[in-house]
Amino acid sequence: MVSKIKTVLLSEEQLKARITELGAEISRDYAGEEPIFVGVLKGCFMFMADLLRSVDLFCTMDFMAVSSYGDGTSSTGAVKINKDLSRDIEGKHVIIVEDILDSGMTLSYLKHYLSVRNPASVRIVTLLDKPSRRNADIVADYKGFEVPDAFVVGYGLDYAERYRNLPYIGILKEEVYINE
Ligand code: IMP
Ligand code: MG
């Protein structure tokens, strides 16, 4: 697997340091509150596990699963809810946890989808932000890193469901798109 990675964009050390800062920032902003973190599966799983270990708050967690991409590397624009929340969020402070904000279609849809259930607030924390590709009117309240317009994998992010288990964020060799 590792032989298919062209470059390491963000190392394990860089991820750890920044995610610890994000956790501290969220802990300060929500002091005295009990937010609910809503992870967007599957991409969020590694980021959410590390982020929440740096959050010093009473909090709860829930997960949603959505599909927007199929197996390819460019957006179809359509968002499908494959798994909804298991608990009510009315009156709660919701923090959506995403792996990457790309076109913004997924998060703008999700933010609206959750907002109509009358939560106290809805904010977004994303590990990565690719602002160059945005075509929905959405910004992240908290973001780990801005990344260039390249398809990245690892640390939860996939290409055709593979590479999620890489411990860092990398860029795939072009041969992968052609031969697989
Ligand atoms: P958006 O709706 O275009 O913002 O796309 C959001 C989703 O597309 C993310 O949650 C990812 O699952 C996927 N995605 C976008 N860019 C990348 C990438 O560079 N690598 C892996 N997945 C990506
Ligand atoms: Mg994906």
Q: Is the pLDDT of residue 178 over 80?
A: no
| Nearest Cα residue to atom 16 of ligand 1 | 102
CB-ligand 1 contact for 45 (6 Å cutoff): no
Angle at the Cα of 54 from the Cα atoms of 53 and 56, rounded to 5 degrees = 100
Neighbours of 83 (CB within 10 A): 11
CB-ligand 1 contact for 126 (6 Å cutoff): no
Is residue 113 classed exposed, middle or buried when 0-12, 13-18 and 19+ CB atoms within 10 A define those classes? middle
Per-residue model confidence (pLDDT) at position 163: 97
Which tens digit of pLDDT belongs to each residue from 3-27?
Answer: 999 999 999 999 999 999 999 999 9
Closest CA to 92 of 142, 33, 24: 33
Q: Please report the sign of the dihedral spanned by the C-alpha atoms of residue 138, residue 66, residue 144, residue 148.
A: negative
Strand partners, 121: 93
CATH 3.20.20.140 fits 13-147, yes or no: no
Lowest-confidence range among 84-88, 150-154, 167-171, 174-178? 174-178
Which tens digit of pLDDT belongs to each residue from 98-154?
Answer: 999 999 989 999 999 999 999 999 999 999 999 998 988 899 999 999 999 999 999
Residues recognised as catalytic: 102
59 vs 68: CA distance, rounded Å: 28
Top mutation candidate among 9, 42, 69, 73 for ligand 1, by most atoms within 8 Å of CB: 69
Closest-approaching ligand to the CA atom of 163: 1
Q: Where are the domains of the chain?
A: 13-147
Contact, 114 vs 142, CB < 8 A? no
Per-residue model confidence (pLDDT) at position 174: 87
